């Protein structure tokens, strides 16, 4: 049965009701505009629902609202405090209400206002288990996170993982915001790992250590300053291990200061369509232990797209490891390049110095890549599924102690490894999945080539 059409009288009544509603909204807006700059101060804040969160922590966040001197400022500073509370991720819901003082002796004070805040605290404990794949590794993991553990938005997290490359891993972390500021965090971390590197080199590695990190946001981007202490052991070389690997076997202790800066305007990290990204990592090791070096890496990416679904990205990366004690670098600190998410068309960690079947890593590298993502016929409306055309180039070399900068640069640029190819890219919510056919065009005699199809799963890509 067809729906009955409204009569002219009903339509007229509806229009009248709508007009009355719009007039009321305009009247309220006019009243607010007339008094928004009148003198007004916040008298008190009443908080409802805070059971697990410390009063001193909430007071530091809400205190700036008492600086308001007009209704406009009261509303603005109250909203800022609420947004600041939301960013800690410890509350499920926040509601606010402004009202005149309820005390009888203050009824005549039109320049005073009270603020009521109702909050709903979130669950403290989160437990996750599952499997994941990425960056040439598959693993299963279990993790527990306890939020707001001491009532000041602190986060305690522990986790264990077992994988194809990282045989076992354990980590413990306690992080707390400084001065109740979500943009300033201090964290203490402990970890233990056992790595199986036999896929590209004949050794395993055990690492144990800890760090103290301070992270903050600035107008220029994200900064992280850290002190790290690591004990490493190169162990269990295979029977076919090269002499270079056997010489690296044993213990080493690294004590280092690091700084990481990141500036990211991309709309997302796994399959960006616009924006740019710049990252700089610097490390000084030599505050103790037997490792002394300067190590730095820089990465930059620019992404552009059009309204037809084509995305063009260009990425460059470079790194340099400079020994300060006149000795060759430790293999644990060197750079490793190549693979389905790095220089495609080459085996994982297959670029650069090699002895026998062992990849030895390098002390200096430069990478460049250009990728064009295209709509796929039949999947044009699915932004997460794209065709892929790419060209990659990279060079990884060892640097002798005392070697001049000119010699290092000449060695980097004289014989790059180059590949081109086509394939498909799928953006999973957690990782980027690539299935590409790579064709190496130029390679050094030590490179491990992987001509043909490669499957790449990870969060970092060239």
| Tens of pLDDT, residue by residue, the chain (462 residues) | 444 566 667 677 767 777 776 766 665 555 455 555 678 888 888 888 888 999 889 989 999 988 988 888 888 888 898 899 999 989 888 888 887 776 666 566 677 888 888 989 988 898 887 666 555 556 677 889 999 999 999 999 998 887 766 677 899 999 999 999 999 999 999 999 998 899 899 999 999 999 999 999 988 899 999 999 999 999 999 999 999 999 999 999 999 999 999 999 999 999 999 999 999 999 999 998 999 999 999 999 999 999 888 999 999 999 999 999 989 999 999 999 999 999 999 999 999 999 999 999 999 999 999 999 999 887 766 788 999 999 999 999 999 888 888 999 999 999 899 999 999 999 988 889 999 999 999 999 999 999 999 999 888 888
Give φ, ψ of 25 to 5 degrees.
-60, -45
Residues 436 and 386: their CA atoms lie apart, in Å, by 12
For tokens 């062992």, name the residue: 358
Per-residue confidence (pLDDT) for residue 100, from 0 to 100: 74
Q: Which CATH architecture has domain 25-121?
A: Roll (3.10)
Residues 444 and 72: their CA atoms lie apart, in Å, by 67
Residues 461 and 369: their CA atoms lie apart, in Å, by 10
Per-residue confidence (pLDDT) for residue 2, from 0 to 100: 47
Per-residue confidence (pLDDT) for residue 358, from 0 to 100: 94
Per-residue confidence (pLDDT) for residue 363, from 0 to 100: 96
Q: Which of 262, 449, 260, 257 is nearest to 351 (CA)?
A: 449
Which residues 6+ apart lie within 8 Å of 324 measured at CB? Answer: 286, 292, 293, 294
H/E/C letters for each residue in 187-235? EEEEEEEEEECCCCCCCEEEEEEEEEEEEEEECCEEEEEEEEEEEEEEE
Write down the pTM of the prediction. Answer: 0.83
Per-residue confidence (pLDDT) for residue 157, from 0 to 100: 94
Residues 71 and 33: their CA atoms lie apart, in Å, by 10
Domain segments of the chain as ranges: 25-121, 197-458
**142: which 2 tokens?**
């279990």
Residues 96 and 112: their CA atoms lie apart, in Å, by 17
Per-residue confidence (pLDDT) for residue 1, from 0 to 100: 44
H/E/C letters for each residue in the chain? CCCCCCCHHHHHHHHHHHHHHHHHHHHHHHHHHHHCCCECEEEEEEEECCCCCCHHHHHHHHHHHHHCCEHHHHHHHHHHHHHHHHHCCCEEEEEEEEECCCCHHHCCCCCEEEEEEEEEECCCEEEEEEEEECCCCEEEEEEEEEECCCCCCCEEEEEEEEECCEEEEEEEEEEEEECCEEEEEEEEEEEEEEEECCCCCCCEEEEEEEEEEEEEEECCEEEEEEEEEEEEEEECCCCCCCHHHHHHCEEEEEEEEEEEEEEECCCCCCCCCCEEEEEEEEEEEEEEECCCEEEEEEEEEEEEECCCCCEEEEEEEEEEEEECCCCCCCHHHCECCCCCCCCCCECCCCCCCEECCEECCECEEEEEEEEEEECCCCCCCCCCEEEEEEEEEEEEECCCCCCCHHHHHHHHHHCCEEEEEEEEEEECCCCEEEEEEEEEEECCCCCCECCEEEEEEECCCC
**372: which 2 tokens?**
């064009």
**Do 436 and 372 meet the contact criterion of CB atoms below 8 Å apart?**
no
Q: Which of 456, 406, 399 is nearest to 433 (CA)?
A: 456
Q: Which residues of 50-73 are buried (b: 16+ CB within 10 A; e: fewer)?
A: beebeeebbeebbeebeebebbbb
Max distance between CA atoms of the chain, in angstroms, equals 96
CATH number for domain 197-458, candidates 3.30.110.40, 2.160.10.10, 2.40.110.10, 2.40.160.50:
2.40.160.50
């Amino acid at each position: 049965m067809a729906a009955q059409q409204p009569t002219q009288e009903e339509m007229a009544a509806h229009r009248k009701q709508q007009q009355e509603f719009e007039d009321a909204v305009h009247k309220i807006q006019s009243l607010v505009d007339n008094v928004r700059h009148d003198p007004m101060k916040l008298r008190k804040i009443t908080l409802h629902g805070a059971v697990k969160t410390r009063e001193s922590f909430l007071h530091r966040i809400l205190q700036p609202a008492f600086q308001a001197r007009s209704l406009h400022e009261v509303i603005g500073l109250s909203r800022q405090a609420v947004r600041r509370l939301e960013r800690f991720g410890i509350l499920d819901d926040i509601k606010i209400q402004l009202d005149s003082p309820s005390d009888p002796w203050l009824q005549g004070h039109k320049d005073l206002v009270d603020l009521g805040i109702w909050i709903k605290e979130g669950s403290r404990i989160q437990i996750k288990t599952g499997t994941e794949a990425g960056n040439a590794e598959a693993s299963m993991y279990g993790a527990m996170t306890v939020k707001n553990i001491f009532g000041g938005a602190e986060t305690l997290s522990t986790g264990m993982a077992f994988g194809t490359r990282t045989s076992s891993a354990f980590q413990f972390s306690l992080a707390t915001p400084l001065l109740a500021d979500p943009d300033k965090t201090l964290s203490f971390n402990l970890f233990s790992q056992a790595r199986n590197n036999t896929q590209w080199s004949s050794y395993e590695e055990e690492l144990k250590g800890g760090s103290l990190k301070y992270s903050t946001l600035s107008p220029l981007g994200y900064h992280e300053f850290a002190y790290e202490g690591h004990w490493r052991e190169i162990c269990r070389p295979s029977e076919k291990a090269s002499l270079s690997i056997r010489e690296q076997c044993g213990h080493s202790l690294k004590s280092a200061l690091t700084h990481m800066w990141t500036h990211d305007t991309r709309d997302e990290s796994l399959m960006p369509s616009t924006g740019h990204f710049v990252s700089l990592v610097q490390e000084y090791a030599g505050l103790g232990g037997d490792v002394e070096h300067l190590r730095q890496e820089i990465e930059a990416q620019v992404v552009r797209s059009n309204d037809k679904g084509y995305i063009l990205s260009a990425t460059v990366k470079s790194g340099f490891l400079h020994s300060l004690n006149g000795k060759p670098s430790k293999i644990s600190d060197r750079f490793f390049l190549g693979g389905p998410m790095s220089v495609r068309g080459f085996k994982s960690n297959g670029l650069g110095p090699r002895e026998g079947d062992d990849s030895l890593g390098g002390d200096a590298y430069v990478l460049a890549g250009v990728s064009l993502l295209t709509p796929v016929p039949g999947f044009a409306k699915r932004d997460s599924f794209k065709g892929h055309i790419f060209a990659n180039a990279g060079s990884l070399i060892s640097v002798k102690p005392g070697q001049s900068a000119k010699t290092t640069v000449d060695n980097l640029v004289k014989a790059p490894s180059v590949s081109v190819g086509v394939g498909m890219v799928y953006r999973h919510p957690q990782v980027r999945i690539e299935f590409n056919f790579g064709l190496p065009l130029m390679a050094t005699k030590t490179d491990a080539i992987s001509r043909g199809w490669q499957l790449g799963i990870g969060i970092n890509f060239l």
